[in-house]
Amino acid sequence: MHIKKLQSLAKQDDLDIWFEDECHFQQHGSRCTMWIPPEETDPVVLHAPTRKKLGVYGAVCANDGRLIVQKAEKFCAQSFLDFLRKLVRRGRKHRKMLLVLDNARWHHAILLRPWLQKQKRLSLDFLPPYSPELNHIERVWKLTRRLRTHNQYFQEMEELTSAVFSQFKIWRQPNETLKRLCAII
């Protein structure tokens, strides 16, 4: 039902559909595949001895593939409100914005209500519970990890931040990669 609704809304000329979510990128990266010589019986894989992570708010526009991201120390109502303000400022002028998002508690915070009521262009559309496959930005997070963090060792957090945000910088402008990845129709 939700997909059919979004497909009909996507046909409107004055509406941009955005998918929003939060993501953590781990300093220790991730390991996908590796080749080990047959004589190696106990391989050692370098791994950062830490649980440090980079928190990011992000939204991708399904209409043109633009990505807007913001670093977050923690995910809460105030940092989400700061991100929403950035999103509205960077959205295309004279176009309505539909923001598709999950049901994280800070998305429903009382702190947001006064600001949201004043917004003429922005409306929120909450996904059904436990349905991350319907949130297209999950695909962006997966591709970012594949391109920038898989099979990587980040000795310092700055290296991780630089790697991830260098990819985000490429996707800041409208682009075909994210437009195809996040297509609704």
The domains of the chain, with CATH numbers, are: 2-28+48-181 (3.30.420.10)
Distance CA 175, CA 169 (A): 11
Q: What is the pLDDT of residue 47?
A: 62
Q: What is the pLDDT of residue 1?
A: 47
Summarised one tens digit per residue, pLDDT across range 136-174 is 999 999 999 999 998 888 889 999 999 999 999 999 999
DSSP tag of 84: H
Summarised one tens digit per residue, pLDDT across range 93-103 is 989 999 999 99
pTM here is: 0.87
Q: What is the mean pLDDT of residues 110-125?
A: 96
Confidence class for position 77, pLDDT limits 50, 70, 90: very high
Summarised one tens digit per residue, pLDDT across range 4-57 is 888 888 888 899 999 999 999 988 766 656 677 788 877 776 665 667 899 999
Q: Indicate the residue type of 136.
A: H
Q: How far does Cα 160 stand from its chain's mean position?
A: 16
The answer to whether 96 and 123 are in contact (CB under 8 A) is: yes
Strands 96-101 and 122-126: parallel
